[in-house]
């Protein structure tokens, strides 16, 4: 399997090179040259557990790592989860909640990043190279990435996050590591500022190559690949097609579901559930992709106006026409707005946005009626799932984070001190390390050059 860029100007590369490269040199995102059709395998796959399905599915996209080595990496990645099933399905009223937060940092990002960290270590150990990973996070990606690579001799990791715009616990999950290869940068700005700096760093090809930069954000194809697994696994738990409702900010999680559907898993529709930063919902309603001011809400992982994975979806929607995609994305980059001729004719996706008062009301209602505690991001999904209920079609709401990561919002909504987790409580007593920095490219470059260890 070879990997190509959405922009069409990067030579095809192997899976291992795609993992290390992250963002394509032409500024595009990497995708497999074809999407495998698995419909004839589904009956056999229904009996597999999560890890067994991960081995089969991921193996279809990887042909340059020996099968036994790849399977060992997958097994080790999911030993870090607190439930043997890795992910867990819970019935909450009329909705099935797919809990993805049973990994070491209590967020869905662990499903991908526990594997990606091991892939990085394996590839770099074989090549003798050193990699400087740079990431931008609105909360959970940073801690999950650090948990996947801290202490590794072949890697330094630099995580940028918006200062004061992540929860206190999310920040502690990043800044309490003592490993010398971990560097946390609190950027005085929004998540979009952090993401913009990240893209500028990778577009400076001389700096990227000289410092050997790698990506841990969902621009890295391996992140998306690992996430396809839980859509396939959950869909095979039902006897009919299923709808997935996905709280959405950067579009990476729901895009993995979109690929699972393209592969042939029994997925009827995907519901894109945004918060008040509704750029994606507006696109699916109007065909206009237009950046607005970031609104800071109780769902910080979704406080995003530029969805980095949206480009991958557009590539397929535009018929895999790299030239059309490049024109669309260049227009958006230069003007903050780009549009199709009209609303997208998309049978796979529904979309909506949810106000803070609605999600808070839903947290309280679900707790009272079902004795289930949802975090604010999951509540966005629950509100959206109710709007698109379809008689006879199971609806699975993706639960992206443990509610204990957002105690203020959850306790306010339930009127009870309902959520605690010992792993989070232990962080409060630990010393922290971080560097506050302006959203300035030269400053970020200087920091990386100063702190990156030599290969």
| Helix and strand counts by DSSP (H, E) for the chain | 19, 15
| Residue partners of 64: CB distance under 8 A and separation at least 6 | 14, 15, 16
Alpha carbon distance 194, 174 (integer Å): 16
**CB-count burial class (<10 Å; 0-12, 13-18, 19+) for 319:** exposed
In the block, residue with structure tokens 């005085």:
188
* Separation of alpha carbons 245 and 238, rounded Å: 16
CA pair distance 325, 232, nearest whole angstrom: 28
Non-local CB neighbours of 40 within 8 Å, separated by 6+ positions: none
DSSP class per residue in 115-181: HHHHHHHHHHHHHT--EEEEEE-SSHHHHHHHHHHTT-TTEEEEEEEETTSS-HHHHHHHHT---TT
Rounded to an integer, what distance in angstroms lies between the CA atom of residue 118 and that of residue 208? 22
Q: Is 52 left (phi over 0), alpha (psi -120 to 50) or beta?
A: alpha
Considering 109, 199, 208, 405, which one is annotated as catalytic?
109
Which tokens sit at 413?
A: 């909504």
Q: How many residues does the chain have?
A: 455
Q: Terminal CA-to-CA distance of the chain, rounded, Å?
A: 29
Residue 5, beta-bridge partner list: 30
109 is catalytic: yes
Residue 449 is classified by DSSP as H
Strand residue runs (E) in 13-105: 30-32, 88-92, 95-99
Rounded to the nearest 5°, which phi and psi values hold at 5?
A: -95, 145
Give Cα separations from 43 to 39, 46, 59, 207 (angstroms). 8, 6, 18, 48
Known catalytic residues are: 109
């Amino acid at each position: 399997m070879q990997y190509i860029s959405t922009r069409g100007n990067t030579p095809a590369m192997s899976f291992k090179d795609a993992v290390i490269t992250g963002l394509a040199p032409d500024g595009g995102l990497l995708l497999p040259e074809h999407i495998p059709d698995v419909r004839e395998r589904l009956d056999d796959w229904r009996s597999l557990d999560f890890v067994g399905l991960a081995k089969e599915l991921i193996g279809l996209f990887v042909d340059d790592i020996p099968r036994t080595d790849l399977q060992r990496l997958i097994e080790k990645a999911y030993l870090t989860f607190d439930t043997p099933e890795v992910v867990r399905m819970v019935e909450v009223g009329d909705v099935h909640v797919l809990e993805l937060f049973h990994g070491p940092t209590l967020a869905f990002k662990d499903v991908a990043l526990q594997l990606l960290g091991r892939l990085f270590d394996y590839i770099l150990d074989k090549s003798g190279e050193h990699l400087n990973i740079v990431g931008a996070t609105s909360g959970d990606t940073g801690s999950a990435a650090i948990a996947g690579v801290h202490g590794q001799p072949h890697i330094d990791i630099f995580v940028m996050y918006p200062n004061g715009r992540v929860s206190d616990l999310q920040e502690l999950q990043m800044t309490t590591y003592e490993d010398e290869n971990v560097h946390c940068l609190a950027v005085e700005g929004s998540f979009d500022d952090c993401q913009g700096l990240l893209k500028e760093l990778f577009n400076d090809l001389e700096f990227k190559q000289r410092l050997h930069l790698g990506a841990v954000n969902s621009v890295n194809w391996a992140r998306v690949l690992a996430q396809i697994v839980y859509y396939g696994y959950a869909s095979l738990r039902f006897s009919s097609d299923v709808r997935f409702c996905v709280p959405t900010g950067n579009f990476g999680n729901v895009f993995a579901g979109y690929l699972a559907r393209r592969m042939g898993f029994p997925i009827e529709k995907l519901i894109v559930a945004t918060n008040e930063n509704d750029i994606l919902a507006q696109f699916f309603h109007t065909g206009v992709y237009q950046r607005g001011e970031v609104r800071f809400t109780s769902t910080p992982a979704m406080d995003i106006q530029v969805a980095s994975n949206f480009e991958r979806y557009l590539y397929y929607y535009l018929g895999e026409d790299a030239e059309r995609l490049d024109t669309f994305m260049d227009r958006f980059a230069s003007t903050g707005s780009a549009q199709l001729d009209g609303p997208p004719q998309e049978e796979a996706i529904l979309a909506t946005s949810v106000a803070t008062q609605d999600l808070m009301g839903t947290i309280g209602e679900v707790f009272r009626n079902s004795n289930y505690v949802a975090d604010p991001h999951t509540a966005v999904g629950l509100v959206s799932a109710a709007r698109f209920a379809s008689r006879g079609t199971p609806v699975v709401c993706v639960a992206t984070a443990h509610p204990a990561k957002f105690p203020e919002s959850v306790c306010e909504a339930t009127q009870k001190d309902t959520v605690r987790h010992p792993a989070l409580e232990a962080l409060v007593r630990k010393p922290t390390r971080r560097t506050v920095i302006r959203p300035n490219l030269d400053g970020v470059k200087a920091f990386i050059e100063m702190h990156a260890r030599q290969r």
